[in-house]
Amino acid sequence: MKIAIIGAGAMGSLFGAYLSEGGNEVHLVDVWREHVDAINRDGLRIKEEDKERTVFLRALTDPGELGPQDLVVLFVKSYHTADAIKKCTNLLGQSIPVLTLQNGFGNAEIIYEIVGQRAKVIAGTTAHGATVLGPGIIRHAGRGETVIGNYGENNDKLVHDIAGEFNRCLLETRVSNNITGVIWGKLLVNVGINALTAICGVPNGKLLEIGGTRRLMQLLVSEGERVARARGVQLPYPDAWEKVQAVARATGSNRSSMLQDLERGRETEIDFINMAIVREGRKSGIPTPYNKFVSLLVKALEEKNKNRLW
Ligand code: NAD
């Protein structure tokens, strides 16, 4: 398959590498010139546990250099989704699939709005974890399942073929008939964990040990669960609070991506996580004061850190 990965940071590089090693013709597209140059010059270096390997594949900064693809995978941060997809419409043709495995809620909707008439949108989640260590080098921090499904329509042969290809390339993948539920299932976990770890500067597990954060977590998640039910979402587990606690325990020493983003003075994906609950709640008349409060607080910290205030 001809595959273009748009946003070749930690996750885009990881998926691109596996798909390329499986024999696909993969191009990595990223606006980060140093990273692109390092990959073209020395290959993409991947650290996995105590091993390191190099994968040779082509990277570029301008998607305009490529023609139509068989699959486009979007792996930019959510706040770059609209910009990134608008710049790569030349890669798309009637019924060419665009896959988003980004975190949060709203990416598939943005992609659909921009290219829905010209392309097929496939959405999902992945439990792989990765980080960028420097230009041309990433760490694969953890393996996990990827779940995909057609956005807004029934699954067809194409989505099963993509899952089959991912599995063949050692990216364990299944197709779900409840992809909205799967996305919301992961969203509620992020709603309970990410903003609070970022605001308090603690790893995931600490949230359960501190009385105040534990209570706030529960309030954020129960607002999110109420909104999900009002929006007609079927969550993939019976009890969201139980699920969030289990994930926080299992990932106790992890520092969430939102915490890392704030520490580095970067923008966070808060608009697609807690703020998404506020937006969706508004549509169904469900009040979401706790999610709104933490969203604004993260926004304030983003601004403070970015401008190095105080
Ligand atoms: P990242 O910051 O490492 O990579 C994003 C890349 O997109 C960057 O290299 C950036 O230069 C590039 N980019 C920005 N604008 C672009 C544009 N217009 N065109 C092309 N490239 C552009 O982020 P990541 O950690 O790989 O996360 C990507 C998405 O996957 C996020 O939604 C994240 O929440 C989700 N996710 C991450 C992990 C993880 O472990 N890192 C796990 C699951 C899901």
Last residue of a domain, one of 162, 177, 192: 177
- Cβ atoms of 197 and 244 within 8 Å: the answer is no
Query: Residue 309: is its pLDDT beyond 70?
Result: no
Task: Kindly report, residue by residue over 194-232, the tens digit of the pLDDT.
Answer: 999 999 999 999 999 999 999 999 999 999 999 999 999
Same-domain status, 148 and 127:
yes
Residue whose tokens read 């003075």: 265
Same-domain status, 156 and 8:
yes
Q: Which of 183, 189, 294 is nearest to 251 (CA)?
A: 189
Give the Å distances, CA to CA, from 170 to 69, 122, 163: 21, 20, 11
Q: Which of 225, 149, 137 is nearest to 188 (CA)?
A: 225
Last residue of a domain, one of 177, 209, 232: 177
The alpha carbon of 255 is separated from its chain's Cα centroid by a whole number of angstroms, namely 16
Same-domain status, 89 and 225:
no
Query: Residue 306: is its pLDDT beyond 90?
Result: no
**Ligand 1 atom index nearest CA of 87:** 18
Same-domain status, 59 and 32:
yes
- Cβ atoms of 217 and 246 within 8 Å: the answer is no
**Ligand 1 atom index nearest CA of 80:** 15
Average pLDDT for the chain = 96
Same-domain status, 193 and 251:
yes
Number of domains in the chain: 2
265: left (phi over 0), alpha (psi -120 to 50) or beta: left
Domain of residue 274: give its range. Answer: 180-307
- Cβ atoms of 227 and 288 within 8 Å: the answer is yes
Q: Which of 227, 135, 131 is nearest to 180 (CA)?
A: 227
Rg of the chain on CA atoms, in Å: 19
Residues 6 or more apart whose CB falls under 8 angstroms from that of 188 comprise 221, 224, 225, 228, 235, 240, 243, 244
Distance CA 294, CA 310 (A): 20
Please work out whether the CB of residue 146 comes within 6 Å of at least one atom of ligand 1.
no
Last residue of a domain, one of 177, 209, 241: 177
Distance CA 26, CA 111 (A): 21
Distance CA 148, CA 177 (A): 9
Same-domain status, 110 and 195:
no
Give the Å distances, CA to CA, from 216 to 219, 224, 252: 5, 12, 17
Same-domain status, 217 and 297:
yes
- Cβ atoms of 20 and 55 within 8 Å: the answer is yes
Distance between Cα 112 and ligand 1 center (Å): 19
Query: Residue 249: is its pLDDT beyond 90?
Result: yes
Same-domain status, 145 and 207:
no
DSSP 69: -
Paired sense of beta strands 25-29 and 2-6, if any: parallel
Same-domain status, 247 and 127:
no
**Ligand 1 atom index nearest CA of 142:** 40
pTM over 0.85: yes
Task: Kindly report, residue by residue over 160-176, the tens digit of the pLDDT.
Answer: 999 999 999 999 999 99
What pLDDT is stored for residue 117 in this prediction?
82
Please work out whether the CB of residue 126 comes within 6 Å of at least one atom of ligand 1.
yes
Say which CATH number the domain at 292 has: 1.10.1040.10
Out of 86, 87, 157, 186, the active site residue is 186
Same-domain status, 149 and 229:
no
The alpha carbon torsion through 292, 297, 303, 305 (nearest 10 deg) reads: -150
Please work out whether the CB of residue 80 comes within 6 Å of at least one atom of ligand 1.
yes
Weakest mean pLDDT among 48-62, 105-119, 244-258: 105-119
The residue whose C-alpha atom lies closest to atom 42 belonging to ligand 1 is 129
Query: Residue 94: is its pLDDT beyond 80?
Result: no
Residue 13 β-bridge partners: none
What pLDDT is stored for residue 310 in this prediction?
60
Distance CA 262, CA 200 (A): 11
Same-domain status, 11 and 93:
yes
**Residue 186 annotated among the catalytic residues of the structure:** yes
Task: Kindly report, residue by residue over 61-93, the tens digit of the pLDDT.
Answer: 999 999 999 999 999 999 999 999 999 999 997
Same-domain status, 107 and 160:
yes
DSSP 270: G
Say which CATH number the domain at 144 has: 3.40.50.720
Q: In sequence order, which ranges of the chain are alpha helices (DSSP H)? A: 10-21, 33-42, 81-86, 107-115, 157-168, 179-200, 206-209, 211-230, 240-250, 257-263, 274-284, 289-306
Q: Which of 199, 193, 187, 188 is nearest to 297 (CA)?
A: 199
Residue 146 in tokens? 């990827």
Please work out whether the CB of residue 4 comes within 6 Å of at least one atom of ligand 1.
no
Q: Percent of the chain having pLDDT more than 90?
A: 94
- What's the one-letter identity of residue 223? E
Task: Kindly report, residue by residue over 269-291, the tens digit of the pLDDT.
Answer: 999 999 999 999 999 999 999 99
Query: Residue 116: is its pLDDT beyond 90?
Result: no
Task: Kindly report, residue by residue over 17-37, the tens digit of the pLDDT.
Answer: 999 999 999 999 999 999 999
- Most informative mutation of 44, 60, 72, 76 for ligand 1 (most atoms within 8 A of CB): 76
